């Protein structure tokens, strides 16, 4: 047996009726403050989202969020053994001769 409620002077089935009071009547506020978070590029701790984003930009990084197009796994690049061996040798040579990444 369905349940009815009054809306604008009429009986309406409860599952079809809009709520009398919405819980979203107050404006939403997005704060700049957050719990202390360590920036992975600089090692500094931030409690401000704006300062965290400034550090991200200053260190040459990009904030990607949770966009599925960005976080989707990439296709692996096929490397042959010879190419891989040469890449490893080149990287070891560069590190031994003072190159920093």
Rounded to whole angstroms, the Cα distance separating 83 from 1 reads 73
Per-residue pLDDT of the chain (101 residues; tens, 9 = 90+): 788 888 888 898 988 887 777 766 677 788 999 999 999 999 999 999 999 999 999 999 888 777 676 667 778 888 789 999 999 999 999 999 987 76
In whole angstroms, give the CA distance from residue 32 to residue 95. 40
pLDDT computed for residue 19 by the predictor:
79
Q: What pTM value is reported for the model?
A: 0.43
Q: For residue 71, what pLDDT is reported?
A: 67
d(CA 29, CA 41): 29
């Amino acid at each position: 047996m369905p349940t009815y409620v009054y809306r604008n002077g009429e009986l309406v089935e409860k599952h079809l009726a809009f709520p009398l009071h919405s819980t979203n009547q107050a404006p939403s506020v997005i704060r700049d403050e957050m719990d202390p978070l360590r920036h992975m590029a600089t090692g500094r701790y931030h409690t401000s989202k704006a300062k965290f984003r400034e550090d991200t930009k200053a260190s040459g990084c990009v904030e990607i969020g949770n966009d599925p197009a960005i976080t989707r796994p990439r296709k692996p690049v096929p490397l042959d053994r010879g190419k891989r061996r040469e890449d490893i040798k080149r990287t070891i040579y560069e590190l031994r001769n003072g190159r920093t990444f």
